[in-house]
Structure 1
């Protein structure tokens, strides 16, 4: 999930979506906080406003004294090109630090992939993908995400069950399917991105989420999340950085209330 979402060719093609006569600074609305979002990326962004990214957007709008409006488009190839870079909206609430498609703000939280199990499962104490207890167990994972690589290195490929990385979540729900199968016992566990799994697990007393904080090989399991603006919008980025810095405790509270596992900046443990 946290790998770069788009090919370099998509980045180059998107440049043509912005009129040559328009300066970057002219694209941002001064009367609305215009958000680019997926309409069905529950529990992050949802068209009914129930996602935690929706709540963060509302919070920012209140701090800025601006009404919040949305441009909805499914996340996947073309998302940034057809929303942010097309000038239809001005801010992506959640974006991985370092992605070249946007100009990243300072990160406002750090989270990790983790293992979802039943609380009464023999695997409930597993904290590493190399744990022998996972051998020969059916484990769900989203194909192409960092933990899939670690699982293969740990010898779990034979029984690993993969779900597609890019789906239209208006009609497909891979995370929900995996959690349902963990709950039913069809899967022994699922390895998922914390901000996706954590809020859903919080709503189910039979499940638990354990962050993968002790991996010693393969891709890292924790990532810093920023907000994304158009390349060249340095003034807008600085304004958002100031908002994040001054309101970090309130932002943390929104994320924690949603059930998002928040880590320290180094991915070593839960943030105090």
Structure 2
């Protein structure tokens, strides 16, 4: 009987602590984020997802707190599903591990080359690619590599392709940027990369870079090169989900301005290129 009473008391104490924690978080927007992944987020708050989180929190009358975790396999399990945070700022729309909001932007995979080269390249099946040194991001085993990597493999363009791990060496700043730096340094002729990363890197580059949306992806279905990006919350968190949808609906112009500041190519803009503007 004494053991049963002890268990009941422990359970009640746990419930009180849980309620106190929830009450303490009422004024906080708890965001799950990568601490070293510009242009999206970093621990210093320099990414556009950091800035967007601040805008969301301000609209809700809250402050932002972060749970930091490298955004790779297991990210959602160790952060959102663990209950340590409530919001992931950028996930593919309809991502089945979370409840997604309406999309707040649509971007595309792109080719990145030195502007001085005048490569005139936009199609993934362009015959010129067989003569170029091409860089792609590699994600890992299990067939999870990027759409350009899959498409180039289907075309039999493998000998000229060099892979750069998207996770890279986490001791370095912004590991995914090594792919774009390889174009900048002349290690490769062209990179096929996710647009937000490429557009931001082009703006930061000491060498002018041209960023051109990849076209012709329909040939490689079900692979696709454009994706809608949304915010993600825990499944069943309808209150936060609805608040975020309302924020996205009301603040489209401000969101687009933030994305433009970071050089994110928006697919609906049908941009032919974005030139690096660093002097």
Aligned to 1:63: 59
Report the structure, 1 or 2, having the larger helix content. Answer: 2
Aligned to 2:7: none
Say if 1:129 and 1:27 are closer, same or farther in 2 by CA, change over 3 A: farther
Matched, 1:189 2:190: yes
Distance 1:198 1:173 in 2: 14
Q: Does structure 2 conserve the Cα–Cα contact (< 8 Å) formed by 1:97 and 1:225?
A: yes
| CA–CA separation in structure 2 for the residues paired with 1:28 and 1:100 | 30
Worse-superposed segment, 161-170 or 150-159:
161-170
CA distance in 1: counterparts of 2:153 and 2:263, whole angstroms: 29
Q: Are 1:49 and 2:50 counterparts?
A: no
Partner of 1:135: 130
Partner Cα separation in structure 1 for residue 25 and residue 210 of structure 2: 42
1:60-209 map, 5 Å: 60-123=56-119, 125-143=120-138, 144-167=145-168, 169-171=170-172, 173-204=174-205, 205-209=207-211
TM-score for both structures, normalised by structure 1: 0.83
Contact kept in structure 1, 2:27 and 2:61, CA below 8 Å? no
2:165–2:176 contact (8 Å) kept in structure 1: no
Q: Distance in 1 between matches of 2:77 and 2:57?
A: 24
Structure 1 gaps of 5+ residues are 1-18
8 A contact 1:135–1:155 mirrored in 2: no
User: 1:269 and 1:28 mapped to 2: Cα distance?
Assistant: 45
| CA deviations over 1:76-106 (Å, ceiling 9, x no partner) | 1221111111111110000111211111011
Question: SS where residue 163 of structure 1 aligns?
Answer: strand
RMSD over equivalenced CA pairs, Å: 2.4
In 2, are the aligned partners of 1:140 and 1:189 still within 8 Å (CA)? yes
Q: TM-score, normalised by structure 2?
A: 0.81
| 1:212 counterpart residue number | 214
Aligned length: 246
